Amino acid sequence: MKKWWLLSIVILASCVKDRIDLPQYTPTYTSPLRINEFLASSTGTPWLNEFGVASDWFEIYNSSDSTVHFTPGKYFCTDDQTRKGKYALPDFSIPAKSFFTIWCDSDDTLVDDIHTNFNLKSSGE
């Protein structure tokens, strides 16, 4: 009798556990910016930068209804988790509902487009 009573408590406890409503996680902030696409192997690609060179790149999409402005030295991108501040993004803006391409070609230049000081690895990081 004692074994059945103990088994009943265990079964009852497992039923109650399944009925407990856990609070849903809701992020307090969601960015309007999305990495829309990226290319980590530029061999044979038709996409060329302003110098006519096929390079690695990633594209950011601004999903908001207003322009997003990047303040110099406040935002960074990297290909190395141990160096989060590897490349400081310069002063630029992405208009509402627009795309912006950042070239990852180790050129570290600002001519017409932004060129980072690193390449993307097609094998992953």
- The string of pLDDT tens digits covering residues 86-123 is 999 999 999 999 999 999 998 888 888 999 999 888 77
Structure tokens at 28: 């307090």
- Residue 34's DSSP bridge partners are 61
Q: Which two tokens stand for residue 14?
A: 């497992």
Radius of gyration (C-alpha) of the chain in whole angstroms: 24
**What's the pTM value of the predicted model, to 2 decimals?**
0.72
**26 contact partners, CB below 8 Å, separation of at least 6:** none
| Domain-wise residue ranges, the chain | 33-115
